[in-house]
Structure 1
Amino acid sequence: MSQATSAVHAHTDASHSHHDFARANQAHFDEHADKLEEEHPYARNFGVLSVNAMRDTFPALFDKEHTEVLDYACGTGMFSQALRPYVKSIVGADISQASVDVYNKQAADQGFASQMRAVRAELKGEPGELGGAKFDLITCSAAYHHFADIGTVTRALAFFLKPGGALLVTDIKAAPDGAMLVPETYHHVVPHRHGMTEERMRTTFEGAGLVEFALKDMQAVKFQPDAPEIMWFVARGVKPAEGV
């Protein structure tokens, strides 16, 4: 993709001021939370793929005895459940109350309520949110393409990192030819329909004050038998240690 094409997509994908994507996503996932796995049978396995990609690429970030995690846009908890064996604790946060309810019910049913819990929240990065908690690791899997303003979200998430803590994001990588990657069915809840480039993610993370940016291709995923393969990435940014 040329720089000019990339810039156009960066503008057109994110410039939807007439449409409230946050409210659209809230309504969509409130409606679909209890049947998400039925409608998207690949979703649970994708959670496992995302966790494996994060662990394989950045293994030092995962410590079962110490790592406290915020899983943002946690949905019904499929990613959190895959992550749970490798960290000390997980707080999930999501805009959809129905998704949070499913998350907490499944955690309780599986006996993991003491290790993972979710709250309904649209975080702003302000003092007092989440009881003032800060985290060693913040994860966001398959959700950035749903956020109209990824810069604002990234700055908010950086606020909740401990010094030296890391943000890990998995999401759709823009195709070299600039192709539309998200089916029209989901355009009402997805502003970033062409995925995101490495340059855009780097600029976003660095704009939030994160350092040590790295982005690695995750793998190509085919969500439907007749759908094209889409490349996904895992990106990392680190909050500078105090005094740096």
Structure 2
Amino acid sequence: MSSPESQQAHHDFVQANKIYFDEHADKLEQEHPQARQLGIICVDAMRDYYPALFDKERTKVLDYACGTGLFSLALRPHVKHIVGLDISQVSVDIYNRKAAEEGVSEEMEAVCATLEGKPGELLDAKFDLITCSAAYHHIPSIEDTTRALAYFLKPGGSLLVADIKAPPDGKELFPKKYHDVVPHRNGLSKDTMRMVFESAGLVDFEMKDMPPIKIAPTGMDTVWFIARAMKPGGERI
């Protein structure tokens, strides 16, 4: 019999997440009533910690794993333009519908795609800021993802990730019903985040805690973090 670690290594988390969020996107706020407020909390923390990164007249953002757009909606008043990206077509459709209903389609739009960090993707766009909120724990290879995201940063641009911090005792934070879509069940540590950011060529790594947040999957107060690093070659902010 194979071990749980072996089973996890051979499990296709990307496809499982695509299927899960295609099925659950239209029920997101019903199943996770704190989701909208979580987006606001993460945006507020990012702006509190790194206010110079947010310029309404200039900042162009890639919101990676954007879901149905709750984080983008909270971020939109503080930046010039947002491109959301997600592997779930249903989530992207809801995102674009919300943007249209809010009358902000010219300021935020989403596409369904995967990224490898290669020429031609996203029409070769580059961004001042890339954000990812509440999604890194769903991504099996955060090393590959971070390298791909770094490709889309302008020199001097920053990657900001908001996610769940691994507790000191290493305990699992997600109940079994989420194990099919969450490879990082213990959260993510500062050492792990530093390693993946720096291996992607990003510099000036920092990771700051947010106040504990109670979320439905864990059912407990959970410490969240904001991790930040920048692409070399531009002005340091």
* Shared fold, TM over 0.5: yes
Distance 1:30 1:131 in 2: 25
Equivalent residue number for residue 68 of structure 1: 60
Counterpart check, 1:150 vs 2:161: no
User: Offset at 1:219?
Assistant: 1.7
Distance 2:142 2:110 in 1: 22
Distance 1:242 1:234 in 2: 22
Counterpart check, 1:126 vs 2:126: no
Counterpart check, 1:181 vs 2:173: yes
User: Offset at 1:17?
Assistant: 2.6
Equivalent residue number for residue 101 of structure 1: 93
The answer as to whether partners of 2:43 and 2:71 remain within 8 angstroms in 1 is yes
1:174-213 matches, within 5 Å, as: 174-213=166-205
Equivalent residue number for residue 81 of structure 1: 73
Identify unmatched segments of 5+ residues in structure 2.
none
Equivalent residue number for residue 31 of structure 2: 39
1:135 corresponds to which letter in structure 2? Answer: F
User: Offset at 1:90?
Assistant: 0.0
Counterpart check, 1:17 vs 2:9: yes
User: Offset at 1:13?
Assistant: 7.5
The answer as to whether partners of 1:14 and 1:148 remain within 8 angstroms in 2 is no
Equivalent residue number for residue 223 of structure 1: 215
Identify unmatched segments of 5+ residues in structure 1.
1-11
Distance 1:171 1:43 in 2: 13
Distance 1:238 1:84 in 2: 21
Counterpart check, 1:238 vs 2:218: no
The answer as to whether partners of 2:126 and 2:153 remain within 8 angstroms in 1 is yes
The answer as to whether partners of 2:156 and 2:235 remain within 8 angstroms in 1 is no
Aligned residues: 233
Equivalent residue number for residue 137 of structure 1: 129
Relative to structure 1, the CA distance from residue 42 to residue 88 in structure 2 (aligned partners, 3 Å threshold; closer, same or farther) is same
- Greater mean deviation of Cα atoms: 134-143 or 224-233: 224-233
Secondary structure of the corresponding residue to residue 188 of structure 1:
coil
Secondary structure of the corresponding residue to residue 99 of structure 1:
helix
Distance 2:195 2:131 in 1: 18
Secondary structure of the corresponding residue to residue 118 of structure 1:
strand
User: Offset at 1:36?
Assistant: 0.7
TM-score, normalised by the number of residues in structure 1: 0.92
User: Offset at 1:223?
Assistant: 1.8
The answer as to whether partners of 1:13 and 1:193 remain within 8 angstroms in 2 is no
The CA RMSD measured in Å over matched residues stands at 1.9
User: Offset at 1:112?
Assistant: 0.3
Relative to structure 1, the CA distance from residue 225 to residue 95 in structure 2 (aligned partners, 3 Å threshold; closer, same or farther) is closer
Relative to structure 1, the CA distance from residue 15 to residue 82 in structure 2 (aligned partners, 3 Å threshold; closer, same or farther) is farther
Relative to structure 1, the CA distance from residue 226 to residue 144 in structure 2 (aligned partners, 3 Å threshold; closer, same or farther) is closer
Secondary structure of the corresponding residue to residue 108 of structure 1:
helix
User: Offset at 1:135?
Assistant: 0.1
Distance 1:215 1:134 in 2: 24
1:214 corresponds to which letter in structure 2? Answer: E
